[in-house]
Chains A and B, each alone.
Chain A
Amino acid sequence: MTSKHPSSPAIRRRQVLGGAGAFVLAAILPAGRSRGAGMLVEDATAPFAPNAYIRIGSDNVITMILPNIEMGQGIYTSSVMLMAEELGVDPQSVRIEAAPPGGGAEITGGSTSSMTEWMPLRQAGAAARAMLQQAAAARWSCAPDACVAQDGYMTGPAGQRLPYGELAAEAAKLPVPKDVALKTPAQFRLIGRPMHRLDSQVKVDGQATFGIDAQVPGQKVGAVAACPVIGGHVGHVDTQAALKIRGVVTVLQIEDAVCVVADHYWAARKGLAALDVQWVEGPNAAVDTQAIYRQLEGGLSGPAILADHHGDTQQAMTRAHGRYSATYRQPLLAHATMEPINCTIHVRPDGCDIWTGTQVAERARDTTAEVTGLPKDRIKLHSQYIGGGFGRRLEHEYVTQAARFGRQVSYPLKIIWSREEDITRDRFRPAYLDHLEAGLDERGYITGLTHRIVGPAVVARWEPSGLGANGYDDDLSVGTVITPYTYPAYRLEFARREPPGVITAWWRGVGGTRGLFVVEGFIDELAQRAGIDPVAYRREMVRNNPRALAVLERVARESGWGAPLPPNCGRGVALQFAFGSYLATVVEVEMPAPHDIRIRRVTCAVDCGQVINPDQIAAQIEGGLIFGFSAALYNEITLEKGRVQQDNFHTWRVMRMNEAPKRIDVHLIESGESPGGIGETGTAAAAPALANAMAAVQKRRYRYLPLLSPLNQPSGHEKEQQG
């Protein structure tokens, strides 16, 4: 997704300084937790709901309240680095709190966090530091500039030294300065240098609490089953056998789901297995995968939305020396985060607490308010570490579901979706068909490109106001309109088709991953058709784009592009500008047989602008690639009679260590540009670079995902016309 979210609100007094006239420490930890590094704290003492980023206690404990949620991408670490850089503290000494809804929490997704927080968090740190300097200056009767802030201490011109905590009360009485000068890159002590993740310790110790680990005194655990067909509902339910299971407390129902509640999850699961439910399957009971693809095929011709265009493509096609077209297809995809969907909720007459992992804290709170009828300010969301986001937790329907069940009981209720429920009831990355046609000059380069996308507009359901006036979802521009290339004439059409029987959603990139696979595959085909080396072909296309050219040249050099390879081996390249970052990727594969593939080596060159934490850029690209390879090689959600046919890791294959690349090298290109996004870039690069490498070995094109699909026949379906 590319939707722009409101950037952080302007800094107000209390936002920077916490509450109660002093810098207040988040002192109260949930019972039973140690104060391990990376442990999330919660400010239970604040008398109001602050939108604070920084709080400093009189005991010199510094708490940072972070607007974006940690789901593996390392944002807690980089957000703390941004503030700590300006405030002058050791990031490792900082306590971390997830900002509450209405108190600074933002939507975390679309690889936007570093882009949106780059300025506001530094400004927050700088404003707090300026106030501490001013407080110190007043005490020492010197100029604020003469006070130096470093490592949590203020040092005065005469060698005075005080911890920030001792200046906190005085600083809190000062007005918040509006325009504080930020450090220049030359002055950075933290930004741009590798910093160990702040959440590593607590995660290797097994002490990090994810949503599923919530333990609320008196809680019961619910096993949930929703109608296996979307749009269906619960019919007759016989609870007799379920209630006989030892440990089962009750059976709850909502319109489309049942929940067996027990003392522990296993009893709940046994109860659910014993429960006799008749489902009324509704209008989608006959939907199968072919129906979804047939619907998409219908969109390849006929009317479509004109999404973007420049130049005269019709004329370009007519006058072209050659024409070339191809159709690409990609499937529905599940998220299958390692932590299955769960939510713990305690609904009381006067308020409600929620413990869960969510990328949309505010939506989670609001839906609970709606379901329970409680005012929003009586609902407290305790954001937990997320055991994998990938866009899945941009949905909040599981919180709605938990609230619907939870309002029926007086005790705290934890619902856990089994892995089977998690996959079959997922909201899927959509399936798409793309048709491209290029007009080509005598050398085989593009003079005009037309591109039609057939598929749904994810944003239309997720954030209706994000849909363009013409019905276009501009997330689809990533990798298509937003590209390192320029075409003399270009036309992008969108034929919107909303599939029956499934709900479509964000993923680890929708526009970026789907768009790159298609466009970079097609460009590779054009290079092949022209008899030009794929890197050389792209080099010519981006000769006026220095950042794109730099990553391409770098990856060619570092990957040994062009050097001889053993038999059955090949390389593929992909070049991209997506999420504000440039990336070039070379994948080297060995294919002893058409269905036997080993990824020998992956090389990436990345220019993501100003880097905050370089090693975590590499980590995101490594992991993003593997996430993308996994989907590209293996994954496709299929339906039969309205039911999803994949339901656990034996049918939803996830890349394992022995299947992972033997080597991934990430090369960062120094850049002073504003930070670009990184979380989805590796995933977007994976399918096209891999497909192009496989094409190089197998001498056929890979236009269908998953790549190991038998649809990728040696003949392909390309049409060559001489124009």
Chain B
Amino acid sequence: MLTLQINGKSVEVDVDPDTPLLWVLRDVLGMTGTKYGCGIAECGVCTVHVDGRPVRSCSLPVGLIGPHKAITTIEGLQADPVAAAVRKAWLDIDVVQCGYCQPGQIMAAIALLKKIPNPTDEQIEAGMSGNLCRCGTYMRIRAAIRNVAAAQGVTP
């Protein structure tokens, strides 16, 4: 049995330690908001946070995480003001198309904005270029992140 902290709750899972976090989330715990795209950390659709840092869950064996690291998924953002701002920005300008990559994009954007509340375009690209989108929503993702930063700028 392995113990994990997922979205503020302690969870025990009975899997081999080499099992990637992604498949524990999706197939063992039934949390399907985190997506499978490539399995080799190339596309970012599986992005979750581990202690606030964006991590590709498809390539992170659960045995390496340990019982104390805080794992946050797209399902665990209810009380997070940055997440709320990001989602609002996404809705305001209709970023999504097919939507499959968007949980990963949103997790990456939240991590970026928590680290750099007012990122430059270069910093946005550095933070987001690991996340692929086949529908090509990059223009709007960039704009939405700028909008979050701008909105936070006027809020004391």
Which residues of A come within 8 Å of B, CB atoms?
71-74, 196-197, 199-201, 203-210, 212-213, 215, 221, 246-247, 263-267, 270, 336-340, 385-390, 416, 418-419, 615-616, 619, 622-627, 630, 648-650, 654-661, 663-664
Contact = CB atoms under 8 A, between A and B. Distances in A.
Contacts of A419: 37-40
A196 to B, nearest CB: 6
B108 to A, nearest CB: 10
A72 B129 CA distance: 21
9 contacts: A199-B96, A212-B36, A215-B32, A221-B27, A338-B98, A339-B100, A388-B100, A418-B39, A654-B134
Nearest to B94: A197
Nearest to B141: A657
Interface in B81-109: 87, 90-91, 94-103, 106
Interface in B119-156: 124-126, 128-142
B38 A623 contact: no
Contacts of B100: 210, 337-339, 385, 387-388
Given A264-B28, A338-B43, A419-B37, A200 B136 contact: no
10 A-B pairs with least C-beta separation: A206-B33, A626-B136, A387-B100, A72-B98, A203-B99, A72-B97, A206-B74, A264-B27, A623-B136, A213-B32
B118 interface: no
A196 B88 CA distance: 12
A204 B92 CA distance: 12
B98 A648 contact: no
A668 to B, nearest CB: 16
Interface in B21-37: 23, 26-28, 30, 32-37
Given A206-B75, A623-B136, A627-B134, A650 B40 contact: yes
B17 to A, nearest CB: 11
> Could you say which interface size class chain B belongs to?
35 or more
B89 to A, nearest CB: 10
B54 interface: no
A385 B97 contact: no
A356 B39 CA distance: 21
B51 interface: no
Contacts of A389: 98
Consensus secondary structure, chain B interface: loop
Contacts of B91: 196, 200-201, 204
A416 B36 CA distance: 10
Contact of A72 (B15, B43, B130, B135): B135
A619 B140 contact: yes
Contacts of A664: 139
Nearest to B125: A658
Nearest to B45: A338
Contacts of B5: none
B137 A623 contact: yes
A387 B35 contact: yes
Contacts of B141: 657
Contacts of A627: 134-136
Contacts of B12: none
A502 to B, nearest CB: 21
A616 B45 CA distance: 23
B4 to A, nearest CB: 15
A632 to B, nearest CB: 13
A275 to B, nearest CB: 17
A221 B30 CA distance: 13
Contacts of A661: 139
B3 interface: no
Nearest to A196: B94
A197 B96 contact: yes
B65 to A, nearest CB: 15
A204 B77 CA distance: 11
B98 A204 contact: no
A657 B142 contact: yes
A388 B135 contact: yes
A648 B40 contact: yes
A266 B23 contact: yes
Nearest to B131: A657
B6 to A, nearest CB: 14
B102 A623 contact: no
Given A72-B135, A73-B97, A265-B26, A246 B16 contact: yes
Contacts of A247: 15-16
Contacts of B40: 419, 648-650
Given A72-B98, A626-B136, 5 more contacts: A206-B74, A221-B27, A247-B16, A619-B97, A623-B136
A266 B19 contact: yes
Nearest to B133: A338
A457 to B, nearest CB: 26
Contacts of B126: 658
A195 B9 CA distance: 38
B32 A386 contact: no
Interface string B68-82: 000001110000000
Contacts of B73: 206
A656 B102 contact: no
A624 B38 contact: no
A626 B140 CA distance: 12
A200 B35 contact: no
A206 B39 contact: no
Given A204-B96, A212-B36, A336 B138 contact: no
Nearest to A390: B134
